[in-house]
Amino acid sequence: MHFTIGPIDGVVVKDLNRYTDARGWLVELFRKDEITSEYVPAMSYISETLPGVARGPHEHVDQADLFCFLGPSTFRVYLWDARKGSKTYGCKMTLDAGETSPRSVIIPPGVVHAYKNIGSRGGWVINLPNRLYAGEGRKDPVDEIRHESDANTLYTLD
């Protein structure tokens, strides 16, 4: 399969505004009145990714991710539309997000995704997925299809 560069249906990229004053800064990550109900978060977590390190590519069958890239580094975000019924099936998107371009990215189920810290220091990523990791009480299978270990994966980072 060959991927075409272009936007992916259902992926929502939003620039985030940093409000700074004498106390520091504040960024609104999401507002329930600005996203559709299917993407309202069920949980949240923050992770640190070291320089040069990638997370993914992987995808979810049912879960959507709402990633927030604020810094203190810069990330390259990779997205591939693997949804056979999608009007943008076979499209690939990349974007940079983080310290100089704070952004949130909603990634629907079936869109393969990865990100890589392309900066020179550790960077933080906040995720607000719409499903609980491993379900209520962590009793369900994890909704994740991993492509990182597949030597023949179609989903390669540049």
> Structure pTM?
0.94
For the segment 46-72, what is each residue's pLDDT rounded down to a tens digit? 999 999 999 999 999 999 999 999 999
Whole-number mean pLDDT of the chain?
A: 96
Reading the block at residue 48, the tokens are 């640190």
CATH code 3.90.1150.10 for 4-134: no
Contact between 110 and 86 (Cβ < 8 Å) = yes
Q: Would you list the domain boundaries of the chain? A: 4-134
Work out the average pLDDT over 77-92.
97
- How far is Cα of residue 156 from the mean position of the Cα atoms in its chain? 16
pLDDT at residue 1 in the model: 79
C-alpha 55/C-alpha 28 separation (Å) is 24
User: With 80 as the cut, is the pLDDT of residue 130 above it?
Assistant: yes
| Interatomic CA distance for residues 61 and 87, integer angstroms | 18
Q: Cα torsion for 131, 141, 109, 15, to the nearest 10°?
A: 50
